[in-house]
């Protein structure tokens, strides 16, 4: 480990390594380091920008672990017309749905002012899509769901209309939806795509490129008439009404 000394090529910032290991986000790591809540090889580190080798032992102090347990994660059933991230002219961001009036169910916890601080969307839905949208203060969860090596499934119900001359999407094109398409020259990971009924497909993806499903459908001659996310990992939208939200309980897995 080194402080202000120039690091060798084999070292990297402690906060980056903590993020890569899934201990917390880089922002959270910097906060914990500044407060003296991080140990490297058994020693407290307080200097931001500290460089370490990739094989060091990293642990968090009890105060940091306790704080992580209090981090809030919220599920929203986003309606069409709301944007997931920053507000756009004429449209409202979905985070504004998270208020006292819209909380669903008889939950033990009620919304506190601090619950909205640092709350970030995980896996966006475009303005014309609806369904399960997650907001969380927990950088570890964000990495788990949308990180580069994420294995978390995202399930969507997509209502489509086939524009081709065959009358119905050929099996060969359905196979392409499952594997073989690319977006902007980058091959897509294998997906699971199957018919639910005559005009609805189920898509299960492990990635989430911008407007990916719409672009996939366009490439095989399908027009998307409706798109709804119903599951992320083990977390299903369930009976949560449109426009309502609830806290994720401690015993729920994603």
Residue 8 pLDDT = 46
Kindly tell me if the per-residue pLDDT of 1 is higher than 80. Answer: no
Residue 172 pLDDT = 97
- The Cα–Cα gap between 116 and 125 comes to 19
- The Cα–Cα gap between 183 and 215 comes to 8
The alpha carbons of the chain give a radius of gyration, in whole angstroms, of 21
Strands 82-83, 92-93: pairing kind: parallel
CB of 191 within 8 A of CB of 184?
Answer: no
- Would you say the C-alpha torsion 139, 142, 148, 150 has a positive or negative sign? positive
Instruction: List the domains of the chain with CATH numbers.
Output: 12-68 (3.10.290.10), 71-149+235-247 (3.30.70.580), 154-232 (3.30.2350.10)
Kindly tell me if the per-residue pLDDT of 66 is higher than 60. Answer: yes
The whole-model pTM stands at 0.84
Residue 149 pLDDT = 82
For residue 100, indicate whether it is catalytic: no
Kindly tell me if the per-residue pLDDT of 4 is higher than 90. Answer: no
Q: What is the mean pLDDT of residues 55-70?
A: 90
In this structure, of 5-14, 101-110, 193-202, 242-251, the range with the lowest mean pLDDT score is 5-14
Catalytic hit among 30, 100, 115, 126: 126
Q: Which of 234, 249, 241, 254 is nearest to 77 (CA)?
A: 241
Question: Which residues on neighbouring strands pair with residue 142, listed in sequence order?
Answer: none
Q: Say which residues have a Cβ less than 8 Å from residue 87's Cβ, sequence separation at least 6.
A: 93
């Amino acid at each position: 480990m080194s402080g202000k000394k120039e690091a060798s090529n084999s070292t990297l910032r402690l906060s980056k390594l903590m993020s890569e290991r899934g201990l917390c986000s880089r922002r959270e790591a910097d906060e914990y380091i500044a407060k003296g809540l991080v140990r490297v090889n058994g020693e407290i580190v307080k200097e931001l920008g500290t460089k370490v080798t990739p094989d060091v032992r990293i642990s968090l102090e009890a105060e940091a672990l306790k704080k992580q347990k209090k981090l809030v994660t919220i599920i929203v059933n986003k309606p069409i017309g709301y944007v997931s991230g920053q507000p756009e002219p004429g449209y409202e961001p979905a985070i504004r749905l998270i208020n006292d009036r819209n909380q669903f169910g008889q939950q033990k916890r009620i919304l506190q002012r601090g619950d909205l601080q640092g709350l970030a969307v995980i896996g966006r839905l475009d303005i014309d899509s609806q369904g399960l949208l997650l907001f969380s203060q927990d950088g570890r969860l964000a990495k788990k769901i949308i990180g580069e090596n994420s294995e978390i499934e995202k399930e969507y119900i997509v209502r489509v209309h086939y524009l081709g001359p065959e009358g119905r999407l050929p099996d060969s094109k359905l196979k392409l939806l499952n594997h073989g398409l690319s977006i902007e020259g980058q091959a897509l990971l294998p997906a699971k795509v199957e018919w639910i009924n005559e005009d609805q497909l189920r898509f299960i993806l492990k990635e989430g490129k911008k407007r990916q499903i719409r672009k996939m459908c366009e490439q095989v001659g399908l027009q998307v008439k409706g798109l709804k996310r119903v599951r992320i990992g083990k977390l299903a939208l369930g009976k949560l009404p449109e426009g309502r939200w609830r806290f994720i309980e401690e015993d729920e897995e994603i």
